[in-house]
A and B are shown apart, each in its own frame.
Chain A
């Protein structure tokens, strides 16, 4: 059974950089894209982007200017960085296995709060 475990800072100040990492346990890492999805409190889901083992990325156009993703295949981990955060970036951030049939495995979620 594939298991995703994520971690990162939960409280940021405006203009800081959000950094989250997700580790993949069990299953293949190189055969898939791995994605990040966020959900503001009480709101719906937004796809941030995805990355594969070779570092090929797809970013949501609305966030592309502030987002970067990276991968460490030796550790089966992938990471999200989002620059210049504001209160509007406050959300639960999920990592997930990204496939055309929709994310089938999810991390536990990390609440990131942006507040001065």
Chain B
């Protein structure tokens, strides 16, 4: 299985300040069609995960533009340019390139 390693596991950020987290895969996530299926999800407490970013850097409809994704190959980053109170939750990366699909262990974001 492709192992997805996220860091840090927790992040405490001051309101209005930037936040950054990384996701590293044990194999390249470039698919045979040339796309890289690395996706980011946000899970607020008590809710199902919600997709924020797909194919490394494409933002889902309705996702604020303060969220951005970048990276290539095996190393990826999710950035929040200015953290807001509603950004509290756990952020997961998931790869869709290889079977079985695998998730990172999550980065917990708290706002202070």
Interface residues of A (CB under 8 A from B): 35, 44-47, 49, 58-61, 94, 98-104, 106-109
Contact = CB atoms under 8 A, between A and B. Distances in A.
A95 B25 CA distance: 25
Interface stretch (B11-19, B71-79, B97-105): B97-105
Contacts of B50: 106
Contacts of A106: 48-50
Contacts of A102: 37, 39, 41, 51, 54, 94, 96
B1 interface: yes
A101 B101 contact: no
B39 A44 contact: no
B106 interface: yes
A103 B1 CA distance: 19
Contacts of B35: 100
Interface in B29-45: 31, 35, 37, 39, 41
A45 B103 CA distance: 6
Contacts of B37: 100-102
Interface of B: 1, 31, 35, 37, 39, 41, 48-51, 54-55, 58, 60, 92, 94, 96-97, 99-106
Given A44-B92, A44-B106, A103 B100 contact: no
Nearest to A47: B101
A60 B100 contact: yes
A101 B96 CA distance: 6
Interface centre among A49, A98, A100, A107 (most CB of B within 10 A): A100
Given A101-B39, A107-B48, 6 more contacts: A47-B101, A60-B100, A61-B1, A100-B96, A100-B97, A104-B54
A45 B99 contact: no
A92 to B, nearest CB: 9
Contacts of A103: 49, 51
Contacts of B92: 44-45
B96 A109 contact: no
A34 to B, nearest CB: 13
